[in-house]
Structure 1
Amino acid sequence: MQTTLMIYDGTAPADSGVPRTGGVPLAPAGFTWPICGSSCGGPLQFFAHLPVEDGVLSVFVCQNDPGACESWDATSGANRVYLFPREELQPVEAPATGVTLLPATSAIRTHVVTLDPAEDDDHDELAPDAYDLARSGWKREPEERFGKQREVLGSLGGSPSYLEDDRLPACPACTDTMEFAAHLEEGISAQSAMNLGGRLGYVFVCRACREGAFLTD
């Protein structure tokens, strides 16, 4: 069982092309900063820049009035996910008002964890979850009870951790069920944290239509 974890790798320039949370989005020319369609009408906050095989996932979530706009719902309009091509991306200037940028930029490196779920003694009652096992076991020494989970900023690919099938979002263009793309954790510190309400974030994509979706659980 393999899981590609996203691991905190220090700080990065705000406009870096490396995988990161925070900083400024890189987008094609003419890109317009997304606005919350839930209730506040303000600009969304940029969360993450995630290069993937066929482009770059750019994640935005409303933070202007946490709890009022339904940022946890994939269809609320309070979040947006874009799948940009890799070529000719440029930094986007944030709007002058609203909660638009995280205080710190966190670089991400990937690390593939291979685990045998049969060797885990903490998940006897439930079927082993690949992401949960990989995250809880990250950098765990044989004599340690806990690993360094705060270093884990999420994962790429795989399957959505413990998410019910009825919450898998449908593509607004073709109506097919979207493909799971990434987990997002809040972050390693208060300065770099994405506000997910203490929950796990899920990023989905329809690669055929280049549409994305975000939700928390």
Structure 2
Amino acid sequence: MIYDGTAPADSDVLRTGGVPLAPAGFTWPMCGSSCGGPLQFFAHLPVEYGALSVFVCQNDPGACDSWDATSGANRVYLFPREGLQPVAVPEKGVTLLPATSAIRIHAVPFDPEEHEEHEEREEHDDLAPDAYDLARSGWKWEPEEGFGKQREVLGSLGGSPSYLEDDRLPTCASCAGTTEFAAHLEEGISRQTAMNLGGQLGYVFVCRACCRGAFLTD
């Protein structure tokens, strides 16, 4: 997922920031970890089976366990694409990002042997190549894009969770079943567009049967 400029705040497109879209009657989620305030809306991710809506607590960064999938300091919802409408934003609390970022999907062909001296390849030289890590590296090697473009990578859809230990894979809070990996989310490219994840990579999981998901950072 690549940064693609700005987007309307209420658009039904891949984006970070803006206002959440949800079915009628949806109530803005509140932090269940420590502060009790409203969560900040992070991303709207239309996928083939619906629309994922991601919220993370940012009222007092570090005070609430926003990195923990079970803390109550983050929330992931799966909505049907039909009938979505903008949600009323609470008047208090850190609820919205300052800017709305459009996202475009870009497939990156990448042969690690061609760039084995690249810094990220060297960093993980003792590990098996990771698909997302290689794709991020490959983005800056695209001939028409030049170099130094990795900050424009906002994440990926589908695949498998990059370098996440098996014991951290979340179960569904409703049915206790296994959740499905849905997306990586990067913080963003600037202070205006970025979510504060403590410099970490965010992971989005979903239980399609229960229409809810989980979020955590590495």
Please classify the TM superposition score into its range, dividing by the shorter chain length.
over 0.9
SS in 1 for 2:139: coil
Find the aligned partners of 2:77 and 2:97 in 1 and give their Cα distance. 18
Residue among 58, 65, 76 paired with 1:70: 65
Number of aligned residues: 211
How has the CA–CA distance of structure 1 residues 68 and 53 changed in structure 2, closer, same or farther, with 3 Å as cutoff?
Answer: same
**How many angstroms apart in 2 are the aligned matches of 1:119 and 1:126?**
17
C-alpha distance in 1, partners of 2:84/2:146?
A: 44
Kept in 2: contact 1:136–1:146 (CA 8 A): no
For the 8 Å contact 1:44–1:78, the answer to whether it is kept is: yes
Partner of 1:102: 97
Greater strand percent: which structure? 1
Structure 1: runs of 5 or more not aligned: 1-5
CA distance in 2, matches of 1:90, 1:145: 39
- 2:88 pairs with 86, 90, 93, which one? 93
Q: Which residue number corresponds to residue 7 of structure 1?
A: 2
- 2-structure distance, mates of 1:147, 1:132: 15
Establish whether residue 83 from structure 1 lines up as the match of residue 84 from structure 2. Answer: no
Match of 2:34 in 1: 39
Task: Please state how far the C-alpha of 1:176 moved relative to its aligned partner.
Answer: 1.7
Could you tell me whether the CA contact under 8 Å between 1:137 and 1:146 is conserved in 2?
Answer: no
CA distance in structure 2 between the partners assigned to 1:168 and 1:120 by the alignment:
31
Provide the residue aligned with 2:126 in structure 1. 125
Q: Which amino acid aligns with 2:160?
A: S
Amino acid at match of 2:12: G
| Partner Cα separation in structure 1 for residue 211 and residue 10 of structure 2 | 23
Cα deviation for residue 120 of structure 1 reads: 4.3
The 1:186/1:214 distance shift into structure 2, 3 A limit, reads: same
Aligned-pair distance for 1:126?
1.0
CA contact (8 A) 1:138 1:147 kept: no
User: Does the Cα contact within 8 Å between 1:83 and 1:211 map onto a contact in 2?
Assistant: yes
Q: 2:165 matched to which residue of 1? A: 164
8 Å CA contact retained: 1:129, 1:161: yes
1:137, 1:147 within 8 Å by CA — same for their partners in 2?
no
Aligned partner of residue 81 in structure 2, secondary structure: coil
TM-score between the two structures when normalised by the length of structure 1: 0.93
Q: Does 1:154 align with 2:155?
A: yes
Deviation of residue 145 (structure 1)?
9.9
Cα distance in 1 for partners of 2:217, 2:12 equals 26
Q: What residue is the counterpart of 1:3 in the other structure?
A: none
Show CA shifts across 1:5-61 (max 9, x none).
x00010011101111000000000000000000010000000000000110000000
Corresponding residue of 1:49: 44
CA distance in 2, matches of 1:79, 1:58: 11
Q: Distance in 2 between matches of 1:34 and 1:195?
A: 18
Q: Which runs of 4+ in 1 moved over 3 A?
A: 116-120, 144-147
Shift of 1:118: 4.3
2:6–2:101 Cα contact (<8 Å) kept:
yes
* Secondary structure of 2:63 counterpart: coil
Contact preservation (8 Å) 2:140, 2:146: no
